[in-house]
Structure 1
Amino acid sequence: MIPASGPLFNEVIHSPVRLRICALTRRISELEYAVIRDTLGLSDANLSKNLKVLSDAGLVSMRKESSPERTDARKLTWVGLTEKGRAALEGHLAALSQIAEGTGEAGDTSD
């Protein structure tokens, strides 16, 4: 599905780790941090750094919640794409498709 804004290459999403994070959360409302980390085989530091970039760009939201299974004060972190993030990801995937097919140049949303 191409968003209403059309294909737009997005430099923030294009980083391999950030693209994989966005793709993993693309069809669900949110995933728990450890699931993303373990599924993508990332270190905590690498995942945290990339989630911060996505969050600062308004592409993902994060929320913390207590876990009934934990006896310590640590909380679970849930991550999901925002509406802006979903639109940006769909536009980026459409741009990549155009690039791969050689059907035109996609706009770049980086400044």
Structure 2
Amino acid sequence: MSAADEAEEQHPTLALDDTVHQRVRLGILAIAREADRVEFGFLKEQLGATDGNLSRHLKVLEETGLVAVTKGYVGRRPRTWVTLTPHGVEALDRELRALRELVRRLDATGPGHAPA
């Protein structure tokens, strides 16, 4: 690959979004993608997060418009639901494309070899 080609082709990790890529936030987005809406307690259980930790990550995702958080009740019990927004779907799709490209690139080089 020439120097011009290398300058044109950025490493796939540059396409990763720090907001999305963090483990718990990526988990929230992935789980929310699989359902119309997901309950806070389910996310907490699936991701092995504490209430405070999950709340902080949801706040980041909500502030960046990737999820919508709705509060309500089931009977007398308060509940919090999370829904992926269209912007969140796009961000997750971009992240997955970048990860696929990274895997493709690494698979193409073979184990223990640097790209030529």
TM-score by length of 1: 0.77
Q: Which residue of structure 1 aligns with residue 23 of structure 2?
A: 16
Q: Secondary structure of the residue that 1:25 maps to in structure 2? A: helix
Q: Which residue of structure 2 aligns with residue 92 of structure 1?
A: 95
Q: Which residue of structure 2 aligns with residue 27 of structure 1?
A: 34
Whole-angstrom distance in 1 between the partners of 2:34 and 2:90: 12
Whole-angstrom distance in 1 between the partners of 2:97 and 2:21: 12
Kindly report the root-mean-square deviation, in angstroms, between the aligned alpha carbons of the 2 structures.
Answer: 1.4
In the alignment, structure 2 segments of 5+ residues that lack a partner are: 1-14, 107-116
Q: Which residue of structure 2 aligns with residue 53 of structure 1?
A: 60
Whole-angstrom distance in 1 between the partners of 2:91 and 2:46: 23
Extract structure 1 runs of 4+ deviating beyond 3 A: none
Matched residue pairs, number? 92
Q: CA deviation at 1:91?
A: 1.0
In the alignment, structure 1 segments of 5+ residues that lack a partner are: 1-7, 104-111
Identity %: 38
1:76 is aligned to 2:79: yes
Task: Tell which structure's C-alpha radius of gyration is larger.
Answer: 2
TM-score by length of 2: 0.74
